[in-house]
Amino acid sequence: MIGTVVRAASVGDVLPAGSPIVVLESMKMEHPVTAPVDCRVDSLTVSVGDQVAAGHTLGSVIEVQVDAQVETSSSGDGSVSAALEEVLERRSFGLDESRDVAVAKRHATGRRTARENIDDLLDDGTFLEYGPLVLAAQRARRSKDELIRKTPGDGLVGGIGEIDGVRCAVMTYDYMVLAGTQGHQNHRKKDRLFEVAERLSLPIIVFAEGGGGRPGETDGVVVAGLDCLAFLLLGRLRLTVPVIGINTGYCFAGNAALFGTCDVRISTENSYVGMAGPAMIEGGGLGVVPPTEIGPITDQTTNGVIDMVVADDAAAVDAAREVLRSLTGVHEPDPARPDAELLLTAVPENRREVYDMRALVGGAVDVGSFIELRPDYGTSVITGLARIDGKPLVVIASDPKHLGGAIDTDAARGLKRMLELAEKLSLPVAFFCDTPGFMVGPDVERTGLVVAAGDLFVGGAALTVPYVTIVTRKGYGLGAQALAGGSFKAPIATVGWPTSEFGGMGLEGFVKLGYRDELAAIEDPDEREAHYESMVAKMYEVGKGLSMADHFEIDDVIDPRETIDWLRLLFR
């Protein structure tokens, strides 16, 4: 190398091995030439300020015994450099132990901090944080010291970690920093995390609590900030990887938009979610509205915004962990298998008696594995995630307790969403069908059922994952076809239970419509009713599962205990 001598020992110095004899500066960097062994400097051919080049002799040494070595470095003694101390001090401002007052206030409301939620969610020691030293873009109105103390991370904690060994991205707004609002740097941190998640195909979990966009930013050249990328990037992630949202309090405006973008949305009972908070409503001249009147849980569960409602922060984290395990296809080792004998009595012999479809589903999948989504939306159909032999799948089941299992507009929309989720994440689907068809009547048509039904058939046609349809009782009309991907020949298997019955429409209606004139010609009312009942009975005989099977319109009529074996077909 070419360099300049900037320091040198003296002739006669006794140096332990590794000590610098000459220090050269080259390209603004210092390069020590060190003693190869314990030695005495015998001669030096250079002095400070001399320039040297490759091959230049610097001096000579003689190996000697050094009785007491001089320490040449503090490394290894547990001390850290001043530069590292400065970094650790700065990072400490974002830790809970440095924010006693804010943490106490948070805990007083029964809530956990952002970091407590992340620590609970992720496997120990796996969190790698992005941007913990970022400050709010308000340097023109606040001192740097104030920003360091009051805006650590600009109100966002995020990074990459593992959940049950599955690598994922996670971000949470920090409500203890400016009410979890979205500032300029806060947005840039989200953009960075979302971009990394997309490049690595990572599932992402978003804790969304906060008040939306933040006024009062002073740094940079920004007019409206509508060129931020966060909403585009998270929407793009939603197309390819699992995206789970958690909300545990107020969630308005931009925070709510991100929450609404998620595949599965989990909220605590004290959540309020809306696309505009009180300030925006008042600013729009629409009056003063308290935050507790905007998007309460009672509204957001029945309209399909919230998938799961849980008691508190800890329960939300537990739910997110379980949902992620299913959405990422993590295999559950040594699952508790169901008792197939319980399925024998799951459907009553009285064909008019309702029954508990949730109990039936629970008896056909691994014990305790069923996770229901949106239980209060589109209630005639049950949707969720479950496992067979430890492997996850999507479950869609009619609920005869609501509208007799008829598919209304909300149910059709909820169904299509689950089919899209299954297709995106390559999860097989199990349909449990007991439906009289699509809901009928002027009221339901006003809700847009025609398009919702059509979209549902498109969702079925788009499925490339394997799926099975089990008809437990009613399999009527277009609704039954929708619960089979559009046709009974679309699933890899379509089977009925001994209680199953089929028809192009409800059989009573079929007789009334198809034989209206014949029935009207019978003058005696009692005779007419008897003839009607006789024809209905014949139709039930023709439409029962055995008849469907011997005409090969379904693949078989099975012993209910065999249901689990047929579902295992999905994973072979």
Q: Compare 68 and 261 and report the one with higher pLDDT.
A: 261
Architecture of domain 3-63 in CATH? Beta Barrel (2.40)
Q: What is the per-residue DSSP string for 82-99? A: HHHHHHHHHHHTTSGGG-
Average pLDDT score over residue span 454-477 = 96
Mean pLDDT score across all residues of the chain: 91
196-202, long-range: CB < 8 A, 24+ apart: 196/130, 196/160, 196/169, 197/169, 197/237, 197/241, 198/233, 198/236, 198/237, 198/240, 198/241, 200/160, 200/167, 201/240, 201/241, 202/160, 202/167, 202/168, 202/169, 202/241
80 pLDDT higher than 70? yes
Q: Which residues pair with 347 in a beta bridge?
A: none
Judged by average pLDDT, the poorest of 315-329, 334-348, 415-429, 522-536 is: 522-536
Q: What is the DSSP letter of 438?
A: B
Q: For 243-254, how does the pLDDT look when each residue is reduced to its tens digit (9 = 90+)?
A: 999 999 999 999
Q: Where in the chain is the domain with CATH 3.90.226.10?
A: 84-326, 332-500+544-571
76 pLDDT higher than 90? no
Q: For 372-425, how does the pLDDT look when each residue is reduced to its tens digit (9 = 90+)?
A: 999 999 999 999 999 999 999 999 999 999 999 999 999 999 999 999 999 999
- pLDDT score recorded for residue 262: 97
- Give me the torsion for CA of 292, 297, 300, 302, rounded to 10°: -130
Q: pLDDT band at 69, cuts 50/70/90?
A: low
d(CA 61, CA 40): 6
Q: Compare 539 and 495 and report the one with higher pLDDT.
A: 495
Taking alpha carbons only, the member of 300, 245, 244 closest to residue 270 is 300
d(CA 209, CA 273): 9
Q: For 111-125, how does the pLDDT look when each residue is reduced to its tens digit (9 = 90+)?
A: 999 999 999 999 999
Q: For 484-494, how does the pLDDT look when each residue is reduced to its tens digit (9 = 90+)?
A: 999 999 999 99
β-pair type (3-8, 51-52): antiparallel
Q: For 276-320, how does the pLDDT look when each residue is reduced to its tens digit (9 = 90+)?
A: 988 888 888 889 999 999 999 999 999 999 999 999 999 999 999
**Highest-scoring range by mean pLDDT, 128-137, 331-340, 356-365:** 356-365
Class of domain 332-500+544-571: alpha beta
- Give every strand in the sheet of 20-26, ordered side by side: 29-34, 20-26, 3-8, 51-52
- Beta carbons of 246 and 317 less than 8 angstroms apart: yes
Average pLDDT score over residue span 205-228 = 82
Q: Compare 516 and 235 and report the one with higher pLDDT.
A: 235
74 pLDDT higher than 70? no
Q: pLDDT band at 237, cuts 50/70/90?
A: very high
First and final C-alpha spacing in the chain: 65
Please say whether the structural domain 84-326 has been given the CATH code 3.90.226.10.
yes
Average pLDDT score over residue span 234-240 = 94
Q: pLDDT band at 529, cuts 50/70/90?
A: confident
- pLDDT score recorded for residue 73: 47
Average pLDDT score over residue span 452-479 = 96
Q: For 466-486, how does the pLDDT look when each residue is reduced to its tens digit (9 = 90+)?
A: 999 999 999 999 999 999 999
Average pLDDT score over residue span 80-93 = 89
Q: pLDDT band at 538, cuts 50/70/90?
A: confident
